[in-house]
Amino acid sequence: MLKTLQRIVQEVNSARTLDETLSIIVRRVRRAMKTDVCSVYLLDQEQQRYVLMDTMGLKKESIKQVSLDAGQGLVGYVGEREEPVNLDDATQHPNYVYFAETGEERFHSFLGVPIIHQRRILGVIVVQQQEKRRFDEGEEAFLVTVSAQLAGLLAHSLATGSSSLSGLAQNSIHGSCFKGVAGTSGIAMGSAVVILPMANLDTVPDRVPEDPDAEIEQFREALTAVRNDIHEVNRRLAQRLSEEERALFEAYQRMLDDSALGQEVINKIGEGNWAQGALCQVVTRHARFFELSQDDYLKERATDIRDLGRRVLAYLQKIEQDEIEYPEKAILVSEEVTPAMLGEIPKEKLAGLVSVQGSSNSHVAILARAMGIPAVMGTIDLPLGLLNGQKLIVDGYQGVVFNNPSDELLIQYGNLMRAEQKLQKGLEDLAGLPSVTLDGFKMPLLVNTGLAQDITHSLNHGAEGVGLFRTEVPFMVSERFPSEGEQQQVYREQLKAFYPQPVTMRTLDIGGDKALPYFPINEANPFLGWRGIRVTLDHPEVFLVQVRAMLRASEGLNNLQIMLPMVSNLPEVTESISLIERAFTELCEEGLDLKRPDIGVMIEVPGTIYQVSRIAQLVDFLSVGSNDLTQYLLAVDRNNPRVADLYSSFHPAVLNALNTIAQSCRGHECRLSLCGELAGDPRGAVLLMAMGYDALSMNAVNLPRVKSAIRQLRKADAETLLDQVLQLGTSEEVIARLAEMMGELGLGALLQPVMSLKTPKKVQ
């Protein structure tokens, strides 16, 4: 059964349209379960009706003609109950409704299973048989498994809008919203420019060609180029492989022949598809045919065909990519946006970016932040192939993308953008003013940096130092570990720019979602694996080079602080301190005139919450990494859009943990700060101030907003607010209370602009 299921999923996966998806499902499930009928009904969200979308066994004329109200008939009953309904004689059930068009009077047994994706009912899959019998447990379990597996694929297929039924429009990509995670705060509106992943046969859209002859010409060019490549590879391998072993290349050449695959593609172009789409159709069809074969030899041929297809596609895309014309407001969309892609778009035209892969810590997200480009990362369900040229709204606050938004949404976001620009203008004047409350309490605000570009931003915004310099960023832009000298130069630049204010340099925090191309860490559970200090303590040579570079860079400036990431126990702290002290002593012996830097530990692993007072006795400062602390406390991957709704630093458990940390640190000679995203949110900043945090470190962009909030309230008000908030039971209650209080204090405008919008409906 597992094999059958895998095959069905595999086949559905390669379907190009919703109709094709449905047709595969009904045919395959009927065959696998040996039933007389298999049908799929989809829920038209707008009309709240189930529409018979495809069937094997009922009359074909009823497809897309028969439909039922949401609560009507057995199908409606399955949808309402959200569980399987298994009947030996459907006609006897009180909910049974008969549609003459279907010819279903002959069928008695009925098994209907809801198709549910992310708590939303998409439709119902039904199998029926003439014989009066209850489907057995195994059959029922199989259909439930099929339905659960197919729900995600079907949701994606619906989202691509390729259904011929307009009533399902609300499910289509038009006007839909795709979830990712916030990369850079801000809103962008513009036209999508999709940079297709080079040679990915599964993401090429169908498109009507403007000039079919030119497409055929391009295809022929690409074909010739691939033939030449294969010929060349064959020639080069001639010395190392025997003729038999090279027979594959001959086979490749034959497959590419005008009379074989080549001619089929040309025919498809003639029928009205562009070269890339035609190629992918033909290749996918042949590959699928071979994949389904039981014969291992033939299965292998599927790989060959795909490989050839990718090679031809790569040439076609190269021809196409040379011709990209960027619109005035381009939203760069790609499977994995790379820094190079950012560089290819003229700067004045790049409005926003959306990447299917990646997280807020990816290199490109860090670059986007430095450039101030709103970005959404990790939009795993985005139908890339269908977005080119479409109107998009990129909401980098909430981490969502709207495709072809309604006029109403465009107006709402347009207003927000204007309000945001106005607010920013007003905030610019704050740069030179102190961060102090109405009742005279000073709350130092620092910045998080990574790239050299961050320096100017930070200084312009009136930062009082650097609370977190993510040193992995210069490591990411390099092609190998940067040398001690190279690192020293980068660190010196930071220390000098902020002198005499402190610069907190975090030792290399790689692993988790922070990858170095030249030092890959492949693990099943990277966030719980070899990360941060665990890696560098295992590689003292890397750690020592980095610390030495920091110390050398600080000579004469003496504003360096060193911070350790991902600490989970005391020995990690003591070992790191002794390595830092060793480097310090050696450099002093070399004759450098150094001041011992303050050393601090990041509190981001939940276990360390309960060891704060012990750690505080070992170091000069603690800094809470609320981004990681939230993900570990709530067991929610900070980069997984599927669980993004569960990730909230306003969760009472997180707030209480932050408060406990502040209480445990009190009385020790150890400063306490926080450098996660929460510090850059005015609501979070106000609460943290009330808890007693000594400093807050944030993105430069958020600093003026936070400063404005601090300057407009009394510390006593913040403390009252904190007392109330700590009594609440859910994130929603906390957020509502904060909004209320900010409103009462006249700070409503400082809330993230999208707070005033309804949470987008969950399509994906």
Site string for ligand PEP, 583-622 (x = CB under 6 A): ---------------------x------------------
Q: List the single partner that 675 binds among ligand PEP, Mg ion, none, CB under 5 to 8 Å by kind.
A: ligand PEP
Please report whether residue 628 would count as binding Mg ion according to CB under 5 A. yes
Q: List the single partner that 626 binds among ligand PEP, Mg ion, none, CB under 5 to 8 Å by kind.
A: ligand PEP
The 3-state DSSP class for residue 127 equals strand
CA gap 36, 56 in Å, rounded: 8
Q: List the single partner that 335 binds among ligand PEP, Mg ion, none, CB under 5 to 8 Å by kind.
A: none
Pick 158 or 602: Cβ nearer Mg ion: 602
| φ and ψ of 52, to 5 deg | -70, 110
Pick 630 or 752: Cβ nearer ligand PEP: 630
CB of 626 to Mg ion, least distance (A): 9
| φ and ψ of 137, to 5 deg | -60, -40
The number of angstroms, rounded, from the C-alpha of 51 to the middle of its chain's C-alpha atoms is: 33
Give the DSSP letter of residue 447.
E
Total residues binding Mg ion (CB under 5 A): 3
Task: Figure out which of the listed residues 470, 492, 671, 707 binds ligand PEP, where binding follows CB under 6 A.
Answer: 470
CB of 567 to ligand PEP, least distance (A): 12
CB of 676 to ligand PEP, least distance (A): 3
CA gap 759, 70 in Å, rounded: 25
Please report whether residue 626 would count as binding ligand PEP according to CB under 6 A. yes
Residues 6+ apart with CB under 8 A from 189: 329, 351, 352, 391, 392, 393, 394, 410, 413, 414, 417
CB of 533 to Mg ion, least distance (A): 11
Pick 117 or 369: Cβ nearer ligand PEP: 369
Q: Which of 38, 177, 665, 675 is catalytic?
A: 675
Pick 352 or 625: Cβ nearer ligand PEP: 625
CB of 625 to Mg ion, least distance (A): 4
CB of 475 to ligand PEP, least distance (A): 13
Q: Which one-letter amino acid corresponds to residue 13? A: N
Q: Binders of Mg ion among 229-268, rule CB under 5 A?
A: none
Per the CB < 8 A criterion, the answer to whether 274 and 209 are in contact is yes
Total residues binding ligand PEP (CB under 6 A): 10
Site string for Mg ion, 566-605 (x = CB under 5 A): --------------------------------------x-
The 3-state DSSP class for residue 53 equals strand
Q: Binders of ligand PEP among 507-536, rule CB under 6 A?
A: 509
Pick 565 or 682: Cβ nearer ligand PEP: 565
Q: Which of 117, 156, 286, 363 is catalytic?
A: 363
Stretch that binds ligand PEP, among 29-37, 486-494, 521-529, 623-631 (CB under 6 A): 623-631
Task: Figure out which of the listed residues 36, 206, 215, 628 binds ligand PEP, where binding follows CB under 6 A.
Answer: 628
Residues 6+ apart with CB under 8 A from 648: 630, 634, 654, 731, 735
Please report whether residue 190 would count as binding ligand PEP according to CB under 6 A. no
CB of 669 to ligand PEP, least distance (A): 24
Q: What is the 3-state secondary structure (H, E, C) of 153-218?
A: HHHHHHHCCCCCCHHHHHHCCCCCEEECEEEECCEEEEEEEEECCCCCCCCCCCCCCCCHHHHHHH
Pick 464 or 677: Cβ nearer Mg ion: 677
Pick 114 or 467: Cβ nearer ligand PEP: 467
CA gap 615, 600 in Å, rounded: 9
Please report whether residue 627 would count as binding ligand PEP according to CB under 6 A. yes
Per the CB < 8 A criterion, the answer to whether 196 and 384 are in contact is yes
The structure tokens 């014989």 sit at: 131
CB of 562 to Mg ion, least distance (A): 16
Per the CB < 8 A criterion, the answer to whether 181 and 400 are in contact is no
CB of 622 to ligand PEP, least distance (A): 13
Q: List the single partner that 492 binds among ligand PEP, Mg ion, none, CB under 5 to 8 Å by kind.
A: none
User: 375 pairs with which residues across the strands?
Assistant: 184, 353
Pick 488 or 623: Cβ nearer Mg ion: 623
Per the CB < 8 A criterion, the answer to whether 620 and 598 are in contact is yes
Query: Edge to edge, what strands does the sheet with 49-56 contain?
Result: 67-69, 49-56, 37-44, 120-129, 109-117, 85-87
Please report whether residue 625 would count as binding Mg ion according to CB under 5 A. yes
CB of 675 to Mg ion, least distance (A): 8
DSSP state string for 522-568: --SSGGGSS-THHHHHH-HHHHHHHHHHHHHHHTTT--EEEEE-S--
Instruction: Specify whether 665 is catalytic.
Output: no
Please report whether residue 395 would count as binding Mg ion according to CB under 5 A. no
Cis amide leading into 500 (omega within 30): yes
Pick 405 or 684: Cβ nearer ligand PEP: 684
Please report whether residue 467 would count as binding Mg ion according to CB under 5 A. no
Taking phi over 0 as left and psi of -120 to 50 as alpha, with beta for the rest, 591 belongs to left
Please report whether residue 676 would count as binding ligand PEP according to CB under 6 A. yes
Residue among 571, 446, 561 at smallest CA distance from 495: 561
575-to-375, 533, 537, 570, 606 alpha-carbon distances in Å: 39, 10, 8, 9, 20
Per the CB < 8 A criterion, the answer to whether 338 and 285 are in contact is no
Instruction: Specify whether 156 is catalytic.
Output: no
Contacts 24+ apart (CB under 8 A), 570-575: 570/611, 570/614, 570/615, 570/618, 572/533, 572/534, 572/537, 573/601, 573/615, 573/618, 573/619, 574/618, 575/537
Q: List the single partner that 470 binds among ligand PEP, Mg ion, none, CB under 5 to 8 Å by kind.
A: ligand PEP
Binding positions for ligand PEP, rule: CB under 6 A: 468, 470, 509, 604, 625-628, 675-676
Interaction site with Mg ion (CB under 5 A): 604, 625, 628
Active-site positions?
Answer: 363, 675
